[in-house]
Chain A
Amino acid sequence: AQSVTQLDSHVSVSEGTPVLLRCNYSSSYSPSLFWYVQHPNKGLQLLLKYTSAATLVKGINGFEAEFKKSETSFHLTKPSAHMSDAAEYFCVVSSNAGGTSYGKLTFGQGTILTVHP
């Protein structure tokens, strides 16, 4: 079984300040983890992914995330927020179990990021 908890439903920051979106996961197997972003009326876009290589993962648009197995966390960060970062962000876990569960994505509830001028 696998699950994802996004600890904040809404995060509000000022433009130019750091962004932190928190995610904890649970998985029976060594997981793959993703962050997706969804802008209004747009499809989900992959920001970054962790697949058991380096624990610090860099993604698009200056985002990065660190896989911490001891804390079962995969928090998303960005040093300086931009107005265009305002969107909804989803933390996602993928099963590495075999059979029909392989690759199945389980989404968190989402975090809405608001960026103020």
Chain B
Amino acid sequence: EAGVAQSPRYKIIEKRQSVAFWCNPISGHATLYWYQQILGQGPKLLIQFQNNGVVDDSQLPKDRFSAERLKGVDSTLKIQPAKLEDSAVYLCASSLFGVREQFFGPGTRLTVL
């Protein structure tokens, strides 16, 4: 069974630029999550999708972050414009509907200069 795929693995940008991350969850997983992991901290949930609907985006900085999950499969997370404090690893995870165990992708490490 293929795992959660993410791209790119690494990204370096200047502050005020835009960036987008892509996630392909495990086939059949209805629930998809985006987390932000700042160095030295545990992952923090940014947004949760159930199929293509948003379940929880209470921690998403909506003035600069956006996410979508078209057709209930792949998802894209965008930051526009980026700030220095957005430097972090962005993790995507997926799970079967109603199941707590989440499977994580390798993450995208973002550096904002």
A interface vs B, CB < 8 Å?
4, 32, 34, 36, 41-46, 49, 51, 90, 92, 94, 100-105, 107-110
Q: For the complex, is B13 an interface residue (Cβ under 8 Å from A)? A: no
How many residue-residue contacts, CB under 8 A, span A and B? 56
What residues of B have a CB within 8 angstroms of the CB of A90 in the complex? 42-43
What residues of B have a CB within 8 angstroms of the CB of A41 in the complex? 106
Spot the interface stretch: B60-68, B79-87, B94-102: B94-102
CA of A25 to CA of B45 in the docked complex: distance in angstroms? 18
Residue of A nearest to B99 (CB): A103
The verdict on A32 contacting B100 (CB below 8 Å), with A43-B105, A109-B42, A110-B41 known, is yes
Q: How far is the CB of A94 from chain B (nearest CB, A)?
A: 5
Contact with A along B45-81 (1 / 0, CB 8 A): 1001000000110000000000000000000000000
Residue of A nearest to B56 (CB): A100
Q: For the complex, is B4 an interface residue (Cβ under 8 Å from A)? A: yes
Q: How far is the CB of B54 from chain A (nearest CB, A)?
A: 10
Contacts of B86-113 to chain A: CB distance below 8 A: 91, 93, 95, 98-107
Q: How far is the CB of A91 from chain B (nearest CB, A)?
A: 9
Give the contact-size bracket for chain B: 20 to 34
**Which listed residue, A43, A45, A109, touches B107 by the CB 8 Å rule?**
A43
What residues of B have a CB within 8 angstroms of the CB of A92 in the complex? 42
CA of A107 to CA of B37 in the docked complex: distance in angstroms? 10
Q: Is the CB of B100 within 8 A of A103?
A: yes
List 11 interface pairs A-B (beta carbons < 8 Å), by A numbering. A43-B4, A44-B43, A46-B101, A51-B100, A90-B42, A100-B48, A102-B98, A104-B45, A105-B43, A105-B100, A109-B42
Q: Is the CB of A107 within 8 A of B106?
A: no
